[in-house]
């Protein structure tokens, strides 16, 4: 008799374990490279265990994030920084919308950005991180989480470099001091029937890869190749990781940036908040996103125009309504 289907065992979203890649066993390392590469060519998402976030750090982060979003509106809006396109600090409810949509998403969020080391030019180029005076541990915990997710992302990209037949450290120089963002998001309780808005409308991510905390319940959905929406649910110890548009461009769409959304819950759950915390791994702005030569052949002609990561990011921020033309 066939075993009953379990979502966490073999769902539409494959599971991988980073400890295989970090192992001294070359067969385990090859297995990880093969599994994550195949998943990113197929559906563009994996659920990853074996990352560098401890349970204690995750608990501390959620405690601080919930405390921040529970602050009075007047205090939160004091951390909304004009002129930086929402790249640091607070962005209030409904301000951001998906490409091609006018309705603002039903969310508010915070941005932690890069902690630049040994590069005065980039330190001046990036906006400074914003300190929350009311919560002494908020920024400390946020920085530690940022560093651990950035470390996890570095190894994922090393595995993908091998899958793409590049040097293992190909991405390292581009992501050191990269323009990455850690975004704690609060989807508040829904108080009336939304006219056309959802918690996060269908979109692709801008960046190289996204590492998502908080995909442990229903809400996040991924569109498969048949155009069907599939629930993407991670186990409690897993991060959901997906390909962004920058990596898709670089690989001439060999690695797929998959459209995804966060749907509104059934009416009986409208009174509950949802929290999720994505880490958007960005490279430095002068990284070339020109399609890799080994991803182009007669069966796969070049699909994208040449562009840098900085130019592409600015285009997308304009489309999202966060930066004016």
pTM over 0.75, yes/no: yes
Kindly give the confidence (pLDDT) of every residue in the chain, 325 residues in length, as a single tens digit, with 9 standing for 90 and above.
333 323 333 357 899 999 999 999 999 999 999 999 999 998 899 999 999 999 999 999 999 999 999 999 999 999 999 888 788 999 988 655 445 444 446 789 999 999 999 999 999 999 999 999 999 999 999 999 999 999 999 999 999 999 999 999 999 999 999 999 999 999 887 766 665 555 556 787 899 999 998 766 667 888 877 788 888 888 888 999 999 999 999 999 999 998 878 776 666 666 778 888 999 999 999 999 999 999 999 999 999 999 999 999 988 888 877 677 6
Residues 311 and 304 sit within 8 Å (Cβ to Cβ)? no
Question: Which residues, at least 6 apart from 199, have a Cβ–Cβ distance to it below 8 Å?
Answer: 105, 106, 107, 187, 219, 262, 263, 264, 274
CATH of the domain at 22: 2.60.120.330
Query: What is the number of domains present in the chain?
Result: 1
Which residue from 134, 132, 129 is spatially nearest to 147, judged by alpha carbons?
129
What is the Cα–Cα distance from 216 to 49, expressed in whole angstroms?
13
In a domain, 4, yes or no: no
Query: Using CB atoms within 10 A of its CB, is residue 213 exposed (0-12), middle (13-18) or buried (19+)?
Result: buried
**Which range marks the domain in which residue 63 is found?**
15-319
Whether 198 is in a domain gets the answer yes
DSSP per residue, 84-143: STTSSEEE-TT----TT--SPPS-EEEEB-----S-HHHHHHSPPPPP-TT-TTHHHHHH
């Amino acid at each position: 008799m066939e075993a009953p289907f379990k979502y966490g065992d073999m769902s539409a979203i494959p599971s991988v374990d980073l400890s295989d890649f970090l192992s001294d066993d070359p067969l385990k390392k090859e297995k990880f490279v093969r599994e994550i590469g195949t998943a990113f060519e197929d559906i563009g998402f994996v659920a990853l265990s074996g990352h560098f976030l401890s349970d204690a750090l995750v608990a501390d982060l959620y405690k601080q994030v919930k405390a921040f979003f529970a602050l009075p509106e007047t205090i939160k809006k004091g951390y909304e920084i004009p002129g930086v396109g929402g790249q640091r600090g607070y962005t209030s409810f409904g301000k951001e919308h998906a490409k091609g949509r006018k309705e603002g998403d039903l969310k508010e969020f915070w941005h932690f950005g890069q902690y630049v080391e040994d590069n005065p030019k980039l330190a001046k180029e990036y906006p400074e991180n914003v300190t929350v005076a009311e919560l002494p541990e908020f920024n400390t915990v946020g920085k530690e989480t940022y560093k651990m997710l950035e470390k996890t992302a570095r190894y994922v990209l090393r595995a993908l470099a091998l899958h793409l037949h590049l040097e293992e450290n190909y991405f390292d120089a581009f992501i050191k001091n990269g323009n990455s963002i850690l975004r704690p998001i609060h989807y508040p309780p829904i108080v009336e029937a939304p006219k056309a808005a959802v918690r996060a409308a269908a979109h692709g991510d801008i960046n190289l890869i996204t590492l998502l905390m908080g995909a442990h319940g229903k809400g996040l959905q991924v569109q498969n190749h048949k155009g069907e929406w599939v629930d993407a649910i991670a186990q409690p110890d897993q991060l959901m990781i997906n390909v962004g548009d920058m990596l898709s461009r670089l690989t001439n769409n060999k690695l797929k940036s998959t459209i995804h959304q966060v749907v509104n819950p059934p009416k009986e759950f409208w009174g509950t908040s949802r929290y999720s915390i994505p880490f958007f791994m960005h490279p430095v702005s002068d990284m070339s996103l020109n399609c890799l030569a080994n991803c182009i052949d007669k069966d796969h002609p070049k699909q994208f125009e040449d562009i840098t990561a900085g130019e592409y990011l600015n285009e997308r921020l304009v489309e999202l309504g966060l930066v004016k033309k």
